[in-house]
Structure 1
Amino acid sequence: MKAKLLNEEGARTFALVFDTGDEFVSGLLDFARREKLASAHFAGIGAFERLTFGFFELEKKEYKKIGVNEQVEVLSLAGNIALYENELRVHAHVLVGKQDGTAHGGHLFEAHVRPTLELFLTELAVPLRRRMNEEVGIPLIDLSA
């Protein structure tokens, strides 16, 4: 993965380019730690050769994971980085298009890039923190923290 700082006045903005074989979620977390980011939001496009995404089943309070093991176009990728229990966490949603024109998407768990993924990331001025929401069963952003 390559990165370039585009703006450092106010909120820092970066362009990130992931290459074939890069794992997106772990690569983004490594970058965020290196740059000492506490919170950020991002959007990107590109392609994956395999990924795992999921659909949150509210009644069960768990994700139904769905694997895709074929080349897909990333039609939309959006998310944020926030702190949960003092660790950075990526929360991303993805929409991918298959060769037959169908689209699939959900909460992104992992994704392997091929041939590229282009991402623009903007640091947030105030750190965002997640807290476990027992009613829902997942950590949600807590604006009072």
Structure 2
Amino acid sequence: MRDVELAGEGRRVVVIAVEQGEEAVAAVNEVARRRQIHAAQVTAVGGFADAEVGYFDRPTRDYLRIPVAEQVEVLSLVGDIAEVEGEPALHVHAVLGRRDGSTVGGHLLRGEVWPTLEVVVTEVAAGLAKRVDPETGVALLTGTAQG
């Protein structure tokens, strides 16, 4: 993976080129930790050799895993990075395009990049935090945190 920080109007923009064979979620989380990005908007396009998305199941308070065992294009990937238990954590949803033009989507759990994934991380208000909501079991935005 390669990443570069661009100077911008008072906030950082980091562009990440996740390379073939790398796991997308782990790669973006690693850059966020290394560059100390704790609050950001995230968008990306590219492709996966295979992936796994999830649908949040209310009764079990967990993701139903949807394997995508084929090459797909990342048509849309949007979400955020926020602090969860003091660490930056990526939370993104993806729409993946199949060869026949159909799509599958959900919370991106895992994606093996092929041939590339171009990610734009735009920092927002420092200290944006998420905490697990006891009622839903979901990490929800709580406003600002210390730091």
C-alpha distance in 2 between matches for 1:15 and 1:78: 14
C-alpha distance in 2 between matches for 1:128 and 1:137: 19
Tell me the equivalent position of 1:105.
Answer: 105
Alpha-carbon displacement from aligned partner over 1:97-135 (angstroms, at most 9, x marks no partner): 000111000001111100011111111232111111111
- Does the C-alpha gap of structure 1 residues 35 and 8 become closer, same or farther in structure 2, counting only changes over 3 Å? farther
Alpha-carbon displacement from aligned partner over 1:50-85 (angstroms, at most 9, x marks no partner): 111100112332210011111000000011111111
SS in 2 for 1:142: strand
Shift of 1:6: 2.0
> What amino acid sits opposite 1:73 in the alignment?
E
Runs of 4+ in structure 1 deviating by more than 2 angstroms, as ranges, are none
C-alpha distance in 2 between matches for 1:17 and 1:144: 29
C-alpha distance in 2 between matches for 1:34 and 1:131: 22
C-alpha distance in 2 between matches for 1:82 and 1:13: 15
Tell me the equivalent position of 2:29.
Answer: 29
Pair 1:94-2:94 in alignment:
yes
Contact 2:126–2:144 (Cα < 8 Å) also in 1: no
Tell me the equivalent position of 2:39.
Answer: 39
Pair 1:130-2:130 in alignment:
yes
Pair 1:59-2:59 in alignment:
yes
> What amino acid sits opposite 1:143 in the alignment?
G
Overall identity of the aligned pairs, in %: 38
Taking structure 2 as the reference length, what is the TM-score of the superposition? 0.92
C-alpha distance in 2 between matches for 1:50 and 1:137: 28
Tell me the equivalent position of 1:81.
Answer: 81
Q: RMSD across aligned C-alpha pairs, in angstroms? A: 1.3
Residue correspondences, number:
145
Shift of 1:8: 4.4
Taking structure 1 as the reference length, what is the TM-score of the superposition? 0.94
Contact 2:33–2:87 (Cα < 8 Å) also in 1: no
Pair 1:17-2:12 in alignment:
no
C-alpha distance in 2 between matches for 1:29 and 1:119: 12
Structure 2, unaligned runs of 5 or more: none
> What amino acid sits opposite 2:10 in the alignment?
G
SS in 2 for 1:31: helix
